[in-house]
Every structure is written in C-alpha cells, then in structure tokens.
C-alpha cells in the first residue's frame, strides 16, 4: 500500500512538473503581451498612389494642403489609448532619407496621423514610398506602470509555486522511503 502511495506521488509530481512547465510559457507570453508595446517597422505608404504628390518636371511635390497627405497609420490609437497611450518612437523616412518631425512632416500621436509637408527631402525624383516605424499599444495593453510591474512578477511566482509543490511531492516520497529523515 505504501509503495503504491509513493508511486502515485511520483507520477503526480512528474505530471505536475510537465503540465506546469508547459503552462509557464503560456503564462509568460500572455504577460508579455499585456505589458509590452508592439513595434511596427517599415509600414509603407505610396504618396503618389495616395494622391499626395503632384507630378512636376523634376519629380513631384507634396501637396501639403491636400487631405491625401494626412496619412493614418495602420494601428492608430483608439478609445482609451488616444489619451493614455499615443504612438511612440515614430520615425518617417523614404528609401534614402530619415525625415525630420515638424520640418518634413507633422505628427499627431494621439490620432495616429502623419501629415507630410513639402520640403526638399520629401520631393524625390522617383516614386515616393514613405516608410513609417512606430510603437503602439494593443487593446490588451496594461497602461498603468504599477500594474505592469505586478503582472511581470506573475510568471516568476508561478514558477516558484510549481517548484514548491513539486519539491513537496518529492520530499513526501523520499521521507516515506526513508531516503531522507
């Protein structure tokens, strides 16, 4: 009877470890999704196709008075993010030049709009594909700093609880078999 009990404890301990380790990755991934902002790199906008660039003999000029030059990014802030989590780390460029904010473009972080301006950098002699990089908050993002700090400790405590229960089960088996006293 005692050996059957010990065998059950050992099986339970190994199953608990395997299931716990499998769940640990899921817990860590879910936590990371809620505590990290998402990066977008190289979002492409064709200013000619959008109707923002007016063709000229030397290539084209940005028609900054046109609403076609107000480019909305793919993931603009909505609802609570408009005020609490606007776009961050925004970079706008073409294939050769990084554009300068307030000189080559105006950025409206809260609405996710980039307004292109007519400057020598934005007037290119080729089809002007503009690229944008930015960081945004997903709908599940936890915007309070203390909440992110607490949530980031969850995977660690989950791992400690998993270790504690497993050690307790192994200890019970070892003690019953008088391997330890």
Residues 127-153 have a mean pLDDT of 85
Where exactly are the structural domains of the chain?
A: 1-36+143-181, 37-140
For 63, residues 6+ apart whose C-beta sits below 8 A from its C-beta are 52, 53, 54, 69, 118
Comparing CA positions, the residue from 116, 103, 106 lying closest to residue 68 is 116
177 CB neighbour count, 10 Å cutoff: 11
132 CB neighbour count, 10 Å cutoff: 22
Q: What is the pLDDT of residues 77-110, one digit of tens each?
A: 999 999 999 999 999 988 778 888 888 899 999 9
Name the pLDDT band for 2 (thresholds 50, 70, 90): low
More confident position, 61 or 111: 111
Tell me how far the alpha carbon of residue 175 is from its chain's centroid.
47
Q: What's the pLDDT at 127?
A: 56
Tokens of 52: 């923002």
Q: What is the CA radius of gyration of the chain?
A: 28
Please list the alpha-helical segments (H only) found in the chain. Answer: 2-35, 47-50, 81-84, 145-152, 154-176
For residue 129, give Cα distances in angstroms to 53, 58, 96. Answer: 11, 17, 10
> Helix, strand or coil for residue 84?
helix
For 60, residues 6+ apart whose C-beta sits below 8 A from its C-beta are 47, 48, 53, 54, 123, 124, 125, 128
């Amino acid at each position: 009877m005692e050996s059957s009990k010990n065998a059950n404890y050992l099986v339970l301990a190994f199953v608990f470890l395997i299931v716990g380790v499998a769940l640990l990755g899921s817990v860590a991934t879910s936590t990371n999704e809620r505590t990290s902002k998402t990066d977008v790199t190289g979002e492409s906008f064709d200013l000619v196709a959008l109707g923002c660039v007016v063709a000229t003999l030397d290539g084209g000029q940005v028609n900054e008075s046109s609403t076609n030059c107000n480019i909305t990014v793919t993931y603009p802030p909505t609802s609570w993010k408009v005020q609490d989590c606007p776009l961050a780390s925004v970079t706008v460029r073409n294939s050769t030049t990084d554009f300068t904010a307030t000189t080559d473009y105006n950025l409206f972080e809260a609405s996710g709009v980039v307004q292109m301006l007519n400057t020598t950098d934005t007037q290119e002699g080729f089809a002007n594909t503009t690229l944008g990089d930015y960081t945004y908050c997903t709908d599940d993002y936890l915007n309070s700093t203390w909440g992110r700090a607490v949530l980031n400790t969850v995977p660690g405590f989950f791992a400690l609880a998993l270790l504690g229960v497993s050690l307790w089960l192994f200890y019970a088996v070892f003690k019953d078999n008088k391997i330890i006293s």
